[in-house]
A and B are shown apart, each in its own frame.
Chain A
Amino acid sequence: DSGVTQTPKHLITATGQRVTLRCSPRSGDLSVYWYQQSLDQGLQFLIQYYNGEERAKGNILERFSAQQFPDLHSELNLSSLELGDSALYFCASSSGTSGATDTQYFGPGTRLTVL
């Protein structure tokens, strides 16, 4: 168990809908990362937050947004969902203070299916 929790575990929804994925980082970790994993694209970095502030942005669509709250949990909002958004979404956390060797600990993921 990595100590990172994600809810829900599974999510099935329809095209055009909006969903929110939730992540609680490990105790003491200040950085939260969101990744999308699909069969053909591997692990794609979406966005990173550090202590409530956006730190880095990857291949995140404009229909997607995220935030990190004062208690350090994070939410990823996906709107106007398309079939191609079906994927595993992982949250990871790290201390955010160890430079290059800052280890990212991954949660169990949320499997999103868009019908």
Chain B
Amino acid sequence: QQQVKQSPQSLIVQKGGIPIINCAYENTAFDYFPWYQQFPGKGPALLIAIRPDVSEKKEGRFTISFNKSAKQFSLHIMDSQPGDSATYFCAARRGYSTLTFGKGTMLLVSP
């Protein structure tokens, strides 16, 4: 069964810290790896995504690092702010297949 394993389940950092959320996948056919951000009471929203032909992608304070040989990818949030407090989901898909989501990480950035 296709799986994406996400860790940690929850994370608390101080404002300005760099939270790191990790995901590991099994299916080497996956070719698209998005991260979604979900605020309480809202639906998930696409934050940033990467294809396996690059090792890193940055968008503002958010960076995805991708390690194809280890079948792992991670989200780093630079200079984290209280407004970044949310649940983060990694996901993976192959072609037109459906997204397989990790179980989510609840991030709290304390002031």
Residues on A close to B: CB < 8 A? Answer: 2, 4, 33, 41-43, 45, 48, 55-56, 58, 90, 92, 99-109
Contact = CB atoms under 8 A, between A and B. Distances in A.
Contact of A42 (B46, B51, B89, B94): B89
Interface of B: 31-32, 34, 36, 41-46, 49, 51, 89, 93-104
B98 A48 contact: yes
Nearest to A48: B98
23 contacts: A2-B43, A2-B45, A4-B43, A33-B98, A42-B102, A42-B103, A43-B89, A43-B104, A45-B101, A90-B43, A99-B95, A100-B31, A100-B93, A100-B95, A102-B96, A103-B46, A104-B46, A105-B45, A108-B41, A108-B42, A108-B43, A109-B42, A109-B43
B89 A100 contact: no
Query: What are the 5 closest A-B residue pairs judged by CB atoms, nearest first?
Result: A106-B43, A100-B32, A42-B103, A43-B101, A100-B31
A100 B43 contact: no
B96 to A, nearest CB: 6
